[in-house]
Structure 1
Amino acid sequence: MQTTPLSPEDPARIGGFELLGRIGQGGMGQVYLGESPGGEPAAVKVIKPSVVDSTSRLRFAQEIEILKTVWGARIAQLLDADADAEQPWLATEYVEGPDLGKHVMTHGPLPALLVLSLGATIAEGLGYVHKQGLLHRDLKPANILLGPNGPKIIDFGLAVFAESSASLTAANTVVGTPSCMPPEQANGEKPLTSAVDVYALGTVLLFAATGHMPYHANNIHVLFHMVTDPSTAPDLTGAPPELVPLLTSMLSHQAHARPKVTEVVQQCRALVEAQGLKLAQARRRLTTYTAAPSSEFLTLLPTAVSEGVAPLAPTRSHPADAQPADGPPFAPGHESATEAESTLFLTPPQQTPLGGPPGPPAPTPLPPEDKSDEPGPSNPQDVPRRGRGTGRPPARSLRHSAQARRTAQQLREAYAARAAF
């Protein structure tokens, strides 16, 4: 995550955490990069003084309690919190890396294989949340951080217990991010089920693969109408064909027609294995791909590319998303997705563009990985399958070469040079 310097009105310390810079802000609070007395980096979220009231304190206390409940490798863990302080705050582990939205807008959509890895990883993380009887309710690209140890889910400010029909929101209002919201949530139905998170994950995977959301509108009321209208199908333009059946089922208008998160994991796994890879291999490729910027692949991997390690095929870009380098940040007709909560049919929220990137960059080759402990070819397109006599020797593999080890070391050193900690 990128940080900016503290402003003169920012506190120097919150709780026991020294504040080092600003990470970002939302509708209710400011998020800082902090450091514990023992040197542990943390993301410190503080409620804005202008919105501190009994309702915001209650919602913030609920978020703290939920963070105490959820667990798993894909969840940014709670470190400390104080909902009763003059300015309520909480601190979670700091994830060094951009959110998915910023990564796609900067580098373009992910290859299909990496989208499947992302889907399996986040779906499995959501499964642990759902086992606790909880729903996230606001899964979106900005709430998925691409860290050095894989993607993590953040921001449980809107999370609720699945069986609860109670709400901290005023009557006739809906909270969440409209472009990632399923029809039942947009309609204000209660109680909600785990299907809302499956739908939101479908929008996230579509965005990761294409750079656009399933519904596009410049007006928030039009956007809500499109989301809730069963006759308006989601826009899957540019989605790789192998992903379309999965995305279609996840974005089903009817909640009962969507797969469970465990089924999403299984389907992603099957599609990855159909390409001759293990899911663990695809996950490592995802982490390496998102950790190193495109420019470093070209400078660090010239030998690997010349020796025949083919990159994964890039996804197809959305035709409407192609923009000149100095063009607008998103294509005309794309919605501006809100980073904060939005209110249906009341005051339109301040909006931040989350549309397609200004034209994806040229495909970037992926670095090789050490797979000496794993069977199978490094790229199923390059190496013939077993039992197929092609009469040609298999493509040269780097998995045991000194060059592969040197390349991996270069990548680690380059990442360490960029990391703040």
Structure 2
Amino acid sequence: MQIAPLSPHDPTELGGYELLGRIGHGGMGQVYLGESPGGEPAAVKVIKPSVVDSETRQRFAQEVEILKTIWGARIAALLDADPEADRPWLATEYIEGLDLSRHVASHGPLPSLLTASLGATLAEALATVHKQGLLHRDLKPANVLLGPNGPKIIDFGLAVFAESSVSLTAPNTVVGTPSCMPPEQANGEKPLTPAVDVYALGAVLLFATSGHLPYQAANIHVLFHQVTDPAKTPDLSGVPDELVPLLTAMLAHQAQDRPALDDVVKQCRALIEAQGFKVAQARRRLTSHTAAPTQLLDSLLPPAEAPTVPVSPAGEPEAGATAEPPAATRTGTETTRVLPPTGPDRTPTLVDHPEPQPEAAGARGPAQNPPSAPTADTGRAPSPLPAPGPPARTRGGRPRHSAQARITAQRLREAYAASATF
């Protein structure tokens, strides 16, 4: 994973984590590589000050609550968080490696054996999430990290409790990534079922083995039309013949026609065994094929210098001399679709930008920081981030939270208390 140096506007510490560099960014926030006081690496996600409002806080707090709830070997674990801080942040397990989108862009599609292994691994992980009463809702190649211990799923910012009537988005809106979104989600149907993640997993596996997604269009309205049109079939060009039946079923237009995740695991196992391998062997081959060379975190820190101690002509340290080390130095997508309310004269509007095409996503590394551009909803270029100052604190030394943050957190807790099934 490429790590970019901090900019002059970036904080150098959050929640006790020392920030070492940038590892990703999006429309709502920035992700940093951080290190705990004990040396534990972490991915620290921070919401941009320019987009911190009541709705953003609610969605961010939801992600924290989701990450507190889920567990599993294939889920990036939550380490710490403070969604009520002036600059909301969360820290998760740091996974050294490329996401699936960048890996395919750099190294090409995976062979069918490794795609089947990826499918079995992710289907089993999603089944664990579903058993905990949750849906991911935004699985895509960029949310699958290929680490040294195998793939892991990240970014539960859009996850919801299955069958929940509580919504943290405005009425008549659809939030997600349209290129991996099933028709029922694109149409704004509620409640959603586990079949939405089966479809998204099918899109991820299609991308893994072919290098493209089910539907592609330069215009977001055309893309939504393709996804929701029952007469338009997904593009399976480039898919190995043995994977076509499975991906066809997973990308079925009707939710009830898609296989359950347990069936996906069984079919992936059958594909692996048909090639003369055991599932564990295929998993090891997948990890060996996709694991990136480890980037030592020490390379982000200044080189240590030997302490200078005055010595006597005899070569012994002078009395009272102490070795003092030198002062340390350091150099340094989501789319929302607004559905039309009832009435013939209303047309959809869009907020934010569509998911980039795979080749564009692969070419753009996290180290790049494009110049400010007008946003889709305001038409104005975002203002540069102010230079960070020390966090505001109370007399007791705890971070100061705004009244709106406390109200938002309390409402969120009440909503989940009323809707959670456990």
Q: Which residue of 2 aligns with 1:232?
A: 232
Per the alignment, residue 49 of structure 1 pairs with: 49
SS in 2 for 1:174: strand
Give the CA deviation at 1:163. Answer: 1.2
What are the superposed Cα offsets for residues 283-324 of structure 1, whole Å, 9 maximum, x if unpaired?
A: 00000001158xxxxxxxxxxxxxxxxxxxxxxxxxxxxxxx
- Please, what is the CA RMSD of the aligned residues? 1.6
Tell me if the contact between 2:76 and 2:92 (Cα under 8 Å) persists in the aligned partners.
yes
Give the counterpart letter for 1:253 in structure 2: H
**Aligned equivalent of 1:246:** 246
Partner residue, 2:209: 209
**Structure 2: which 5+ residue stretches go unaligned?**
294-332, 339-347, 363-422
SS of aligned partner of 1:342: strand
Secondary structure of residue in 1 paired with 2:352: coil
Residue 75 of structure 1: CA displacement?
0.1
Instruction: Pick the structure with greater CA Rg.
Output: 2
Given residue 171 of structure 2, which amino acid in structure 1 is its aligned partner? Answer: A
Match status 1:36 vs 2:36: yes
Residues 1:353 and 2:350 are matched in the alignment: no
Q: Which amino acid aligns with 1:271?
A: L
Aligned residue number for residue 27 of structure 2: 27
Q: How far apart, CA to CA, are the structure 1 residues paired with 2:37 and 2:275?
A: 47
| Pairwise CA distance, 1:356 | 5.1
Q: How many equivalent pairs are there?
A: 314
Q: Which string of whole-angstrom CA distances, capped at 9 and with x for unpartnered residues, describes residues 101-146 of structure 1?
A: 0000111100110000000000010011000000000000000000
TM-score (norm. length: structure 1): 0.73
CA distance in 2, matches of 1:192, 1:292: 36
- Number of the residue aligned with 1:64: 64
Greater relative CO (CA pairs within 8 A, separation 6+) = 2
Match status 1:166 vs 2:166: yes
Secondary structure of 2:104's counterpart equals: helix
* AA in 2 matched with 1:239: V
Give distance in 2, aligned partners of 1:214 and 1:202. 9
Tell me the distance in 1 between the aligned counterparts of 2:191 and 2:141.
24
Contact kept? 1:27, 1:341, Cα under 8 Å: no
What is residue 123 of structure 2 aligned with on the other side?
Answer: 123
Residue type of the alignment partner of 2:49 = P
Q: Does 1:13 align with 2:16?
A: no
Aligned sequence identity (%): 74
1:332-374 deviations in whole A, cap 9, x for unaligned?
xxxxxxx223324323533453335899xxxxxxxxxxxxxxx
Asked if 1:343 is matched to 2:346, the reply is no
Distance 1:347 1:271 in 2: 41
Question: Aligned equivalents of 1:161 and 1:127: distance in 2?
Answer: 14
Contact 1:119-1:265 at 8 Å conserved across structures: yes
Query: Tell me, what secondary structure is at the counterpart of 1:256?
Result: helix
**Residues 43 and 91 of structure 1 are in contact (CA less than 8 Å); yes or no, is this contact kept in structure 2?**
yes
Deviations 1:143-181 (A, max 9, x none): 000000000000000000011132211122110000000
The 8 Å contact of residues 220 and 348 in structure 1, kept in 2 or not, is answered as no
Number of the residue aligned with 2:291:
291
Tell me: CA distance 1:358–1:53, structure 2 relative to 1, closer, same or farther (3 Å). closer
What amino acid is aligned across from residue 28 of structure 2 in structure 1?
A: M
Aligned partner of 1:275 in structure 2 is 275
From the superposition, tell whether residues 120 and 232 of structure 1 become closer, same or farther in structure 2 (CA, over 3 Å): same
